[in-house]
Amino acid sequence: MSASSSPVPTPRRFGPAGPLTGRVRVPGDKSISHRSLMFGALAVGETRVSGLLEGEDVLATAAALRAMGATIERESDGTWSIHGVGVGALLQPRKPLDMGNSGTSTRLLMGLVASHPIAATFVGDASLSKRPMGRVTEPLALMGADFSGTTLPLTERGLSPAVPIEYRLPVASAQVKSAILLAGLNTAGITTVIEPVPTRDHTERMLKGFGADLWVEEAGGERVIRIRGEAELNPQTIEVPGDPSSAAFFAVAALLVPGSDLTIENVGLNPTRAGLYRVLRQMGGSIEELNPREVGGEPVADLRVRYSALSGIEVDPTLAPSMIDEFPVLFVAAALAQGRTITTGLEELRVKESDRLAVMAAALRLAGADIEEREDGLVIDGTGGEPLPGGGPIATHLDHRIAMSMAVAGLASRAGMDVDDTRPIATSFPAFEALLDTAAGQ
Ligand code: S3P
């Protein structure tokens, strides 16, 4: 039984550690893994995926796609084989789709269901059930889908043929963009999404790779993405690069623990995802990109990260979408930097798996850091490299990234950090604790 399937919280103390050294390899990218399964499930023929992230969120996507007719199997060497049903041919699921903790599964699958003549009920855990779905139900309703509400549990009834729309994103969200484009896949005519602020572009890159008629233009400083619907998708062979959002915890840990010199292999560095590494370098972090190459159509490198004295900075808010999941661990880095770090423009963090501004402010205060919480960001006065006192218990609120960030804070503390529940880590990074213990020689 995995720790995460335990019915009771699994607390753990993350104690001060020796230097992080050697090499680690982080699991496959979560965003690309979800999309590999979804697009494979819509292609006719066999899609093969290596390096798929086998975390609970991605497994929830796989289970939902199976319930809608796709054949998805894991082979003994870890390759995943997907036999798709074809665009427009998803079947009515017989039972509610259990999305667990996963916003990406929920929002993207809502897009797929929207233009099929089927109904699906989406259910999730306590964290997911609090998250706003209106941001996807609103545009999908314009295309013809019907929703019983704007939070989970909810039932969606799709419409076929659906109506193509042109939609300007009111929030910078790759999930909303992707939901609309996926609904557009099975909608005759051209569906258009206008993105005033660019967000991760895996959907666009991968749909093109699967042969969809999708193109991107720039107009008046905005990205305009169009898809011509009722296309066929061709099966692909995909190698999923390592997840920069998972690598982030190891990069910050190595920067903070004296004497560290760690190489993180195979890290995806798509510019729409790599903002954290820019910011950490601006703070004085030593992060070298070795062996740059392409994996699965994405830029990838090995990152050599060495212990560094960090300085506080004002983080450019325009970088936020390219590091939206990395702020919890950036706040940990800032708590040990010299001087003040100011972050702004981060309202979206309040509607992630937890309210990441409030939860990280509370967690870092318990650890002994000097934090001011503002409506749209945190202001952090760092210790100048002194370890945090440590403490707890840290309330993680079913949020994997809070648990992993505070584990990193524990390595750079005097007394260690008590994390109330490590189960959520399995949603995105099941091997995290084992890898961290190995890298820190514990
Ligand atoms: C994701 C997009 C982001 C991110 C999430 C994964 C995706 O969410 O936080 O972890 O795969 O499209 P938003 O698009 O809501 O910002």
Please give the chain's pLDDT, 442 residues, in tens: 344 568 899 999 999 989 999 999 999 999 999 999 999 999 999 999 999 999 999 999 999 999 999 999 999 999 999 999 999 999 999 999 999 999 999 999 999 999 999 999 999 999 999 999 999 999 999 999 999 999 999 999 999 999 999 999 999 999 999 999 999 999 999 999 999 999 999 999 999 999 999 999 999 999 999 999 998 999 999 999 999 999 999 999 999 999 999 999 999 999 999 999 999 999 999 999 999 999 988 999 999 999 999 999 999 999 999 999 999 999 999 999 999 999 999 999 999 999 999 999 999 999 999 999 999 999 999 999 999 999 999 999 999 999 999 999 999 999 999 999 999 999 999 999 999 999 998 7
> Is the shortest distance between the CB of 106 and ligand 1 below 6 Å?
no
Which atom of ligand 1 lies nearest, measured to the CA of 135?
15
> Is the shortest distance between the CB of 270 and ligand 1 below 6 Å?
no
Fold match, 12-28+241-439 / 30-238: yes
Which atom of ligand 1 lies nearest, measured to the CA of 177?
14
Which atom of ligand 1 lies nearest, measured to the CA of 34?
11
Nearest to 184 by CA among 200, 207, 152: 207
326 CA from centroid of ligand 1 (Å): 11
Nearest to 152 by CA among 113, 103, 112, 119: 103
Per the listing, tokens 């440590």 go with 390
- Say yes or no: domain 12-28+241-439 is CATH 3.40.630.30: no
Angle at Cα 121 formed by Cα 115 and Cα 124, nearest 5°?
120
Q: Which of 38, 202, 272, 324 to mutate to test the pocket of ligand 1 (most atoms within 8 A of CB)?
A: 324
> Is the shortest distance between the CB of 24 and ligand 1 below 6 Å?
no
Fold of 30-238: UDP-n-acetylglucosamine1-carboxyvinyl-transferase; Chain (3.65.10)
Q: Which of 31, 37, 53, 104 to mutate to test the pocket of ligand 1 (most atoms within 8 A of CB)?
A: 104
Cα gap 219→224, rounded to integer Å: 7
> Is the shortest distance between the CB of 178 and ligand 1 below 6 Å?
yes
* Domain boundaries, given as residue ranges, for the chain: 12-28+241-439, 30-238
246 CA from centroid of ligand 1 (Å): 14
Q: Is the dihedral of CA 42, 47, 52, 55 positive or negative?
A: positive
0.85 exceeded by pTM: yes
Q: Which residues are the active-site residues? A: 325
Question: Nearest residue CA, atom 4 of ligand 1?
Answer: 325
Report the half-sphere exposure of 241 (CA within 13 A, side-chain side). 24
DSSP state of 27: P
> Is the shortest distance between the CB of 353 and ligand 1 below 6 Å?
no
> Is the shortest distance between the CB of 175 and ligand 1 below 6 Å?
yes
Q: Which of 112, 135, 200 to mutate to test the pocket of ligand 1 (most atoms within 8 A of CB)?
A: 200
